[in-house]
């Protein structure tokens, strides 16, 4: 049917896209700033982020069963709360995930070519855009291969570090606000399952596949992150982990396993590249949905007649990410992305509260809403200020468009 996307993704491919986004988003980059904020409270911060992510995943799955079309919370907010909230969700998602795409591009560049990180990042962004233009099935195949290779390397590295002698200086004091701030940063890593909701129009049997894929991908990723956090703190200690720019590389050297460094560097670059692939997929589908409703230029709703991909949205996203790679930095991009995506999920949970469901589902949505607002407000003050200004700009754009 012209103007619509084809349903081609099954459970394995869908879950792989979610895992690729979550593993690549933070596994190799987020533990250092999170440890700097939380200190010895890193495991608690990880648990808080996982609980909030789990509540958000439950709400997203319930909503996706009712609204299995491209756009994710943009659609849920529009249908459950009204057009303004849908617009604000879509605006926050696009802004936050564009920042994530820039961060992932820079992460790849810093691993594969440290002296020329921005140039390498731009090359990767262009390559990912080209893959996405070939069609979602090609993107899903790449995600499956990426996830498999990265998990094998990660499990090997975590095992080696866990069996090494513990660090001499392991203590790193933290406080309650630092733990919450770290949880907000770690949430950046767990937000990848949003890709499954935004791809709802391309999933086979979405009412069953999307909830199962979200649950499967989240369980796998929480286990991987918990194991990695414990292993890194064991072998490096809090102060060295907080100061490291490449924690897994530093951890392997501390474990006298430096020979594995090239493999881990390749896996880190592959993971971040896989995350970038699925991130751009999700952002482009939200742009497509918003363009269909004229919240963005309608030309961005164009879908190719041969490969059935939203080529205009894909190209626009690629160009914006290239600009962010040239202008941004990794840590600020992570924090800004976390703020915007927490706003997005707050709207998702508020949308889920309108559903007629059991007591536990409603409690999860309420807890997810409160958790998103708390973690967003706990991020660095500068990030909160900039993020709030961007969200306010989204609200203003809606008001101007709908003024009498």
**Where do the structural domains in the chain lie, given as residue ranges?**
11-401
Residue 299: CA atoms inside 13 Å, Cβ hemisphere, count? 4
Q: What is the pLDDT along the chain (404 residues), one digit of tens a residue?
A: 445 556 667 777 777 777 776 777 678 888 988 999 998 899 999 999 999 998 998 898 788 778 877 677 888 999 999 999 999 999 998 999 899 899 888 888 877 887 888 999 999 999 999 988 887 555 567 667 777 888 999 999 999 999 999 987 767 777 899 999 999 999 988 876 656 655 556 677 776 777 788 788 888 888 999 999 999 999 998 889 998 878 898 999 999 999 999 999 999 888 888 778 777 877 888 888 889 888 889 999 999 877 778 999 999 999 999 999 998 888 788 899 999 999 999 999 999 999 987 788 899 999 999 999 999 999 999 999 999 999 999 999 999 887 76
What pLDDT shows up at residue 3?
A: 52
The Cα 72–Cα 60 span in angstroms is 8
What is the Cα 259 distance to its own chain's centre?
30
**What residues have CB less than 8 Å from 223, skipping those under 6 apart?**
none
What pLDDT shows up at residue 15?
A: 76
| 322, β-bridge pairs | none
3-state helix, strand, coil in the chain (%, to 5): 80, 0, 20
Render 94-140 in DSSP notation, one character per residue: HHHHHHHHHHHHHHHHHHH-GGGHHHHHHHHHHHHHHHHHT-HHHHH
**Ranges of H-type helices in 306-378:** 311-327, 330-352, 359-378
**What residues have CB less than 8 Å from 368, skipping those under 6 apart?**
52, 55, 56, 58, 59, 345, 346, 348, 349, 352
The Cα 318–Cα 62 span in angstroms is 31
Question: How far apart, in Å, are the Cα atoms of 194 and each of 295, 341, 353, 375?
Answer: 20, 10, 18, 18
Q: How many helices (H) and strands (E) does the chain have?
A: 16, 0
Pair of tokens at residue 267: 């896996």
Place of tokens 């907000």: 184
**Which residue, 222, 239, 241, 221, is CA-closest to 231?**
241
Helix (H) or strand (E) holding 90: helix 83-112
In our burial notation (b when 16+ CB lie closer than 10 A, e otherwise), range 174-192 reads beeebbbbbbbbbbbbbbb
| 203, β-bridge pairs | 9
Three-class DSSP category at 203: strand
What pLDDT shows up at residue 1?
A: 45
Question: How far apart, in Å, are the Cα atoms of 211 and each of 60, 76, 296, 324, 332?
Answer: 8, 15, 29, 33, 32
Q: Which CATH number fits domain 11-401: 3.40.50.620, 3.90.1150.10, 1.20.1740.10, 3.30.70.890?
A: 1.20.1740.10
The Cα 330–Cα 335 span in angstroms is 9
**Which residue, 266, 261, 289, is CA-closest to 199?**
289
């Amino acid at each position: 049917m012209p103007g619509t996307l084809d349903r081609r993704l099954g459970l394995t491919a869908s879950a792989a896209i979610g895992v690729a986004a979550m593993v690549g988003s933070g596994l190799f980059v987020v533990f250092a700033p999170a440890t700097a904020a939380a200190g010895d409270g890193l495991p608690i911060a990880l648990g808080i982020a996982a609980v909030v992510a789990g509540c958000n995943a439950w709400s997203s799955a319930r909503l996706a069963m009712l609204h299995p079309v491209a756009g994710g919370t943009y659609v849920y907010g529009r249908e459950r709360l009204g057009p303004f909230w849908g617009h604000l969700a879509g605006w926050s998602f696009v802004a936050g995930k564009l920042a994530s795409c820039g961060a992932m591009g820079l992460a790849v560049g810093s691993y594969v070519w440290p002296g020329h990180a921005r140039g390498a990042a731009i090359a990767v962004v262009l390559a990912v855009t080209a893959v996405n233009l070939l069609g979602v099935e090609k993107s899903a195949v790449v995600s499956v291969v990426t996830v498999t290779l990265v998990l094998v390397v990660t499990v090997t590295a975590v095992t080696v570090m866990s069996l090494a002698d513990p660090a001499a200086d392991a203590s790193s004091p933290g406080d309650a606000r630092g733990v919450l701030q770290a949880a907000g940063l770690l949430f950046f890593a767990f937000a990848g399952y949003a890709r499954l909701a935004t791809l709802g129009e391309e999933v086979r049997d979405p009412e069953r596949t999307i909830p199962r894929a979200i649950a499967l991908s989240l369980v796998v990723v929480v286990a991987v992150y918990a194991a990695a956090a414990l292993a890194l703190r064991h072998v490096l200690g809090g102060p060295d982990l907080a100061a490291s720019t490449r924690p897994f590389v530093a951890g392997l050297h501390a474990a006298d396993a430096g020979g594995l460094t090239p493999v881990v560097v390749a896996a880190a670059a592959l993971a971040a590249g896989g995350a970038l692939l699925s991130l751009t997929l999700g952002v482009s589908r939200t742009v497509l949905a918003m363009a269909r409703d004229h919240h963005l230029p309608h030309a961005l709703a164009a879908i190719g007649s041969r490969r059935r991909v939203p080529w205009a949205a894909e190209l626009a996203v690629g160009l914006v990410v290239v600009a962010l790679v040239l202008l941004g930095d990794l840590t600020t991009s992570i924090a800004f992305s976390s703020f915007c995506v927490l706003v997005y999920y707050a709207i998702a949970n508020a949308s889920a509260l309108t559903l007629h469901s059991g007591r536990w589902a409603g409690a999860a949505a309420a807890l997810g809403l409160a958790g998103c607002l708390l973690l967003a407000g706990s991020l660095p003050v500068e990030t909160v200020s900039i993020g709030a200004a961007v969200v306010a700009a989204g609200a203003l754009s809606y008001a101007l468009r709908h003024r009498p």
